[in-house]
Structure formats: structure tokens, C-alpha cells
Amino acid sequence: MHAEVARANLYFHHLIERDPARARRELDAINTALARDGGKFGGAPLRIFFKPDLITERERKAAQVIVRHVMNVLEKTVQLYFADPRAQTFFRINDHERALAAIEPRYRRCVNVARLDGFVSNGAVKFLEFNCDSPAGMGYIDLTERHLFSTEVFRDFNARFAIAPTDRLGMLLFALLECWRQAGGVTRPTIAIVDWAEASTYSEFELCARYFAAQGFHTFIADPRELEFTGGVLTVGGAKIDFVYRRVLTKEVAARMDECRALVSAARAGAVVMANPFRARLLSNKAVMAIYSDTDFDHCFTPTENVVKRAFLPWTALLIEQKVRFRGREEDLLGFVDRMKDLFVIKSASGHGGKEVVIGRESSPAEWRAALQKVLAAGDWVVQEYVEVPETYVPTFEGDRLLFAPKKINVNPYAFGGRWGGALSRLSESSIINVSLGGGVVPVIACRER
């Protein structure tokens, strides 16, 4: 941890400890405000902690560069799918998803809204997977940050350490409008945020819609089943839609094609601009991570991008019978992974929400071997080098008693239009960290000692 961040954390803890009753009142007020203003996930209040994940300005600037390079790697990976038959085995999609991926987006980037999920381990970030199809959370964390900044604790902290909020929704909207302009749009588009009405993140759609409307963009929230496509025009409730901000997952569209036919037909006909395009789904399967550890594909990337892959992406391989190179040595993968369980994690390539993950060092040899046998029979799993899960301490309350509780923490930078878009961190008691599994969120905030 950087010395400046260590001092900032200590000072933040001091402010909490100096007046725990104030901190408890302010935390209760934030939770009330979040519930009132749309901070709900699956109908339940969003779980937050009364402490940001602090980084230095220098670390933020370094992260901006890293995110830009990683996003360039991801764009080239999508191109590999279309250009290199050898890469096909790494893209685990079905025929319906393949047909959706073939729809041209009509703008430059395939991934304009992304979240990279990783850990800061031994002073360096490692991104374990990519949420490129339909990432969530930017509206939630903007709302959380706004309420945190309104507290006396944050104002006192800001008097010694300069901090400022991040407008993630503003950067999101800017990236969406870039797609609109690159596709030939010249007027102010009418936007539809499209996902199922029963989506657990529906309240975030409302946050986005309110933000877009405040910037002068007429915005609807639409269930795919409510859309109609007739006469070359996509509509919802009789209103014409120009731009679709797609939040419905591609694999759900593929599985429920009859209910999504209007959306798919409009996208295929070029009647709307849609971001992300369906082909962004190609990167959400963890099997693509194995491309970056396979030196046969190094020629597809620049020397700088190859350095970035080695430095910031953990070694990954398809969990099949094969020979691999690990740390410079050739190994028979299955036997090696069985023997060296503490070095590895196995994951479902298509799983999400922190599900279907087995951590070798948290399993007994018998449990690990049983898990390997089970997933080998199922197929579509990957093995990834274990990355140390960092911990932090956050203030919590048991009644009126203040505690600083240890939590596992990951870091999740956003990328909008291929550029850094701020970040959030997720915290949990478990090494598998996900909001859908009961984890909480905090904003990542850059600070500078005054």
C-alpha cells in the first residue's frame, strides 16, 4: 500500500473513532437515502460500507493507462474471433449467440461499456475476468458516492485529503453518444434502456434514465417484450426509439429469441444504434482468457500489449487434457493441476455472479480432486492461476459498538469508449466476492494529501 494511502486510511479511521455516534447516524442516513433514491438490488437495499477504497492520484493515472491497453487487447480479441479459425475453440457460444455476434454494430469499438474485475495483489492489479456484455453498478456507485460526500465525516476528511466525486454516468452517456455519432446519428436520440422488467438491477435503470433525461435525452425503460418493430421503426408504447442501451444479456436474448425478436430485427436491420453490440458477449466467457496465456497468439498483439497481458492478466487455460507451459515449464495440465491445487482456481467458463468457482487452497485434496472430476465431465471450465485476495478493514456497527471488520476486496474499473471510467470495489467475508452473493460496494476515490 502506498504511504499516502496508508496515512489517508488511518486518518479516515480516526474520524470514525473520534465520534462513532456521528458515524452511525450518518451511515443510517445514507442507507435511508439510498433506499429512497433507488439504491436497491433485487428489491433489497444495496449493501454499502462507510469507507471508500482510497488510491493516490498517481495510481489513478496509472490505472487509466492500464485500462486503455487492456481494452485494446479486448478489441483485438473480438477481431480474432472473426479472423482466425484457430481461436474459435476459445469462444464458447452457441449457434444463436453466433448469429447475434454476426450483427455489425456500425461504430468503431465492439466494447464501449465494460467493467474489469480484479484484485490488487502485491502492489499490482490482476484482472481475473471481464464483464463486457452488459455491466452494471455505475449508477449505484454514483448514487452511493454522492450521499457519502454529503456527510460530515467526508467533509472533514476532504479538509486534509483532497477528494472529488466521479461522474461515471456522465462518462457512460458520452460513450453511448460516441457510438451514435459514429453510426451517423446527427440529431438528439431517443434512448431505450432495455432489459427484463423483473431484472434485479431495475432500480439502476431508473437512475440511468433520470440522469439521461436531466441531460436532455428522452429516455424509456423497456422490457424486450414491449418492443415492436414494424415498417423499419423500433417503438415502445408507440414512441420511436433511436438508440438502445442494452442491459439484457446476450445469452438471455439467444435463449428467449421469440420474446426478443423486435430488438434483434431492429439491430440486424440497422434501424437503431445499440450498445453494447451482441458481439461483446464474446469476451464475457472466461475461456477467452486462455488466449492471453497462449504464446501462439502473441503475434496478434503489439509488444506493449503482450507485456500488458503478462503483467495484468493471470495465467489461464482450458480445463481439458493438454500440455501447457506454466512459468516456463511444459506440464501435463490435468495431472499438474491435481497435484498443485494451491496454485489454482477452477471456474465455469460461462458462469457469472461469483458462482461455480472452486479455490484450490480453500479445498482439501479430496474435495479438489472430486471437483476436477465433476467439471471435467461437465466441460466448459477453465483453470486460472490463483491471485492472492487482499483484505481491508471497514467500520461496522453491532448495536452501538464500533468495529473495524476485515473484508476481502476486489477492484472493478469501468471502461467507457475504451477509456477509464472510474471504479468501484466490492467487499465480502468470502474470497468469492459478488453483490449477488451478499457482498457490498464502495466507490474507488483518488485522494491527495493537502
pLDDT tens string 100-146: 999 999 999 999 999 999 998 777 899 999 999 999 999 999 999 99
Tens of pLDDT along the chain (450 residues) come to: 689 999 999 999 999 999 999 999 999 999 999 999 999 998 888 999 999 999 999 999 999 999 999 999 999 999 999 999 999 889 988 999 999 999 999 999 999 999 999 998 777 899 999 999 999 999 999 999 999 999 999 999 999 999 999 999 999 999 999 999 999 999 999 999 999 999 999 999 999 999 999 999 999 999 999 999 999 999 999 999 999 999 999 999 999 999 999 999 999 999 999 999 999 999 988 999 999 999 999 999 999 999 999 999 999 999 999 999 999 899 999 999 999 999 999 999 877 656 689 999 999 999 999 999 998 888 789 999 999 989 999 999 988 899 999 999 999 999 999 999 999 999 988 776 666 566 789 999 999 999
C-alpha cell at 66: 492500464
For each of the domains in the chain, give its residue range(s) and CATH number, in order of start.
3-284+396-449 (3.40.50.1760), 315-385 (3.30.1490)
The pLDDT tens digits for 278-331 are 999 999 889 999 999 999 999 999 999 999 999 999 999 999 999 999 998 999
pLDDT > 90 in the chain, percent? 86
Question: CB–CB of 282/77 below 8 Å?
Answer: yes
Q: What is the pLDDT of residue 288?
A: 95
C-alpha cell at 6: 496508508
Question: CB–CB of 74/332 below 8 Å?
Answer: no
Q: What is the pLDDT of residue 88?
A: 87
- Residues in the chain, how many? 450
C-alpha cell at 237: 408504447
Question: CB–CB of 239/222 below 8 Å?
Answer: no
Q: Is 55 helix (H, G, I), strand (E, B) or coil?
A: strand
Q: What is the pLDDT of residue 339?
A: 95
In whole angstroms, what is the distance from residue 86 CA to residue 297 CA? 9
3-state DSSP percent of the chain in helix, strand and coil, to 5: 45, 25, 30
For residue 353, count CB atoms less than 10 angstroms from its CB and return exposed for 0-12, middle for 13-18, buried for 19 or more.
exposed
Q: What is the pLDDT of residue 352?
A: 67
Q: What is the pLDDT of residue 309?
A: 95
Q: What is the pLDDT of residue 354?
A: 62
Q: Which amino acid is at 46?
A: L
Nearest to 201 by CA among 276, 131, 145, 136: 136
Contacts of 294 (CB under 8 A, 6+ apart): none
pTM over 0.85: yes
As beta bridge partners, residue 125 has 120
